[in-house]
Amino acid sequence: MSRTIGSDSDETLTIRDARGNGSNYGAVADTNDDVEAGPLAKTSEPTPLDMSQILLLCMARISEPLTFCILFPFVQQMIVDTGEVSVENVGYSVGLIEVSFSITQSLSLLYWARAADRFGRKPVLIASLFGALASTALFGFCKHVWQMYACRFLAGVFGGNAMVIRTLFTENCDFSNQATAFAYFAFAANMGAVIGPSLGGFFAEPAKQWPNVFGRWSLFVHYPYALPCLICAVYILFSMILCAVWLKETRPEECNNPLPVRSILTRKMVGMLGVYGWGVTVVFCIGALFPLYLFTPIPIGGQSKTPPQIASLGAANGLFQGLWLLIALPRFDRWLGTKKTFIIVSSVFPLFMLLPAMANAFARTDHLLLSQLTLGAYVIFGSAGNMTFTSVQLLLNSCAPPAAIATVNGIAVAICGIVKSIFPALINSVFAISVSKQILKGYLAWVLLAVMGVGTFVCALYAPEASDDTKSVSKNKARVLEAEGEEVMESGRF
């Protein structure tokens, strides 16, 4: 070979753990391998990520929030245009369209996880992306509400991409760089959530918006919502082709003997999944409530913002979330460790939840400058609370045995689907009741979220520590050596 084995400078075979001695995605190293497992020393340098793989996974990660959020700007009008639902009842149909995806995804994820363990991560990802492509493209041609339900149901059935992408991120990093890797993961999800509504709103009904360009196309006249869905489908197709050609398979050999689900759900793992479930509940409730709060009139508890202003603040919130995740979280994780980072960020979480109530209180008393400054502080600093979500994901990965990482991530994404199906609508209902009856001057929902934030802090204090005996360094080295050998043989570099 053109590369030698045994040299300390061998960049091909250098696989570091938390102290620079061995890879340990998903868990710290086995102490039987003559390495000292433990927290990352503050002076240690993280192992460089394979950015080609990370960027491919980020492209694929964008697809799920993109296909979900691209519908938001036009799905209401699309339902009304069918003539099957009155304007007054359109909200129920929109809710069912959203819930049909989350529920079916939750029910199918465990099967996708087991398939990823048996057949490999890459085939499951490609199949899931193909399902997302087909369901999104078909949605744009729906002329009946039941067809919309069917398309979202189909998207949920093929909704295994989030699970397998989490698993691939986990298996493409080690303890020293996992925070950076999952910062990219979360940033890509935020970008999908920001880009989706923009594409949906901009390209819906193109024959009306640009009659000189699209008015002559009968396709876009008869199917006014097909263009944004087709653009989304083309993006997924492009991402799917790139992943099919260049994405590397990371399935570990431990998956040859898959663990029963019952043995995976130990007391420690169940506790960590409970912490994860609580954390995502708080984060999703905040994400659902903030746009409604911005839209609500100032006299009853909101900010009286226009749709463009709501979109701008939402985009700014997503941008700052991405900056916190990409810049701050990896450094905090390296200096403090994952659990301490989780504890510190969650300790100020309840205070962030009170800032919107304070912004409204200032606006009600005509202190508009203070109101906007407080709202800006929430957008900039409150978005840091999303680091708790990523920290919990890292802790969850650290508790998962390598042979069950896909299964654990499948359960985690299923929890996300259940939470999205129930709690955003619930917190919005609490807010609606609060502002209509002026309970706590319309601040009941924010007070409730502050209490839930305290619960997140308590969860952080009692979150399980990372395992120290679930991954062998020698097995990691053997797996990477084997992959390297295959690449050398295929390329003829010997």
Reported as a single tens digit per residue, the pLDDT across 229-286 is 999 999 999 999 999 999 999 888 877 777 788 888 888 888 888 988 998 899 888 8
What is the residue-wise DSSP string for 27-48? SPBPGGGS----SPPTTPPPPP
Architecture of domain 266-494: Up-down Bundle (1.20)
pLDDT at 224 exceeding the cut of 80: yes
189 pLDDT band (50/70/90 cuts)?
confident
Least confidently predicted of 54-58, 91-95, 260-264, 404-408: 91-95
User: What is the token pair recorded at 363?
Assistant: 């606006």
The alpha carbon dihedral of 309, 312, 314, 320 has a sign of negative
Calpha distance 415→407 (Å, rounded): 12
**How much is the pLDDT for 17?**
38
213 pLDDT band (50/70/90 cuts)?
confident
Calpha distance 485→491 (Å, rounded): 10
The alpha carbon dihedral of 395, 399, 402, 405 has a sign of negative
Within 8 A by CB and 6+ apart from 287, the residues are: 424
Show the CA angle centred on residue 180, arms to residues 52 and 484, nearest 5°: 40
pTM of the full structure: 0.73
Ranges of CATH 1.20.1250.20 domains, the chain: 48-248, 266-494
User: What is the token pair recorded at 162?
Assistant: 């989030």
Task: Name the CATH topology of 48-248.
Answer: Growth Hormone; Chain: A; (1.20.1250)
**How much is the pLDDT for 317?**
83
**How much is the pLDDT for 88?**
65
Calpha distance 425→412 (Å, rounded): 20
Q: Is 107 exposed, middle or buried (0-12, 13-18, 19+ CB in 10 A)?
A: middle
Radius of gyration of the chain (CA): 24
**How much is the pLDDT for 198?**
82
Q: What is the pLDDT of residues 442-494, one digit of tens each?
A: 899 999 999 999 999 998 888 876 554 434 333 433 443 444 344 434 444 43
pLDDT at 143 exceeding the cut of 90: yes
